[in-house]
A = this chain, B = another copy of it.
């Protein structure tokens, strides 16, 4: 906190006058800049959020216990347990802009339909048997799939098996809350279509490389692809590394392949506030150190390694989640082949021209 500009030592009268002034500011709902500027306008982003890791082996048993004790249904809406960044005063926010939760649905359970202005996705690190129904289109959920429920689309989930299933939800709840732009509406208590196709209608229309249906040529803010299947993600990453082996470009940096999930109607991000990517490191790869405006959350999909976040270092394993707050230096090291899902709030900053990135290769 800044104590104001340098000045000669004030007299007792001046000090009293200043005290009266500050008290009058207070009663008139005013606050001076000069005492606040250091916190308000730091030299670079200094997030209240901490770099932090949540372990899958801790999360999953807690979700199972919630499954036993807490019913899912109208009102509570979802059995979702949010990662609450320890720097953010107990609020259910993984970062100041992002929400990340583990959601758990027991055998034959249904999470009722609703819609909201918040953009949402699911990522599946293990399991299957749940269908998400998005505006009437049932979408199967399977390991490695990335699934969208963009803002103001009705959606519910139902488990059609005798086994529970857990997955990760990502949303822009904190951003929408901070900016007072939230709308919410209840839908039916049951999902609106109980069929269980392997492939959603949205994929049948839209998930063909470089092709779009002539029946729908509108521009869209959100990707019309409801599910990005693991099969394609894995193949794209495999090809990038194979091209590197053959001496051709295609990877982000040596040993580091990555794809971005995109909206096929624009080539841009899947939703206006959320970017999603999948990264693959060869065993032994150490990435450059990177700082970015905005926060990211990673989930390890497969393999193990080390992540360095500012001064902290975590070993990570399958299912583990960690958050990278704004402008915190981040690098990864892969012990085995390391597959990571990532999402971030970067589109917000790119849209508003507040984005910045700084990259340093550590060992050079």
Contacts and interface: CB of A to CB of B under 8 A. Distances in A.
Interface in A198-255: 201, 204-215, 217, 219, 221, 223, 225, 228, 232-233, 235-236, 239-240, 242-243, 248-252
Contacts of A243: 201, 204-205
A118 interface: yes
Contact of A273 (B184, B212, B352): B352
A164 interface: no
A56 B67 CA distance: 57
A263 to B, nearest CB: 7
Nearest to A209: B207
Interface residues of A, number: 141
A86 B29 CA distance: 6
Contact of A228 (B72, B211, B353): B211
A225 B211 CA distance: 11
22 contacts: A5-B75, A6-B74, A7-B73, A21-B66, A28-B58, A33-B81, A34-B75, A40-B92, A45-B180, A151-B353, A201-B250, A208-B235, A210-B263, A213-B259, A213-B260, A214-B252, A219-B267, A264-B267, A265-B267, A267-B267, A347-B352, A351-B352
A209 B228 CA distance: 8
B85 A25 contact: no
A294 B21 CA distance: 32
The CB with the most chain B CB atoms within 10 A, among A101, A259, A277, is that of: A259
A277 B249 CA distance: 30
A151 B352 CA distance: 11
A185 interface: yes
A208 B208 contact: no
Given A44-B182, A235-B208, A266-B266, A213 B77 contact: no
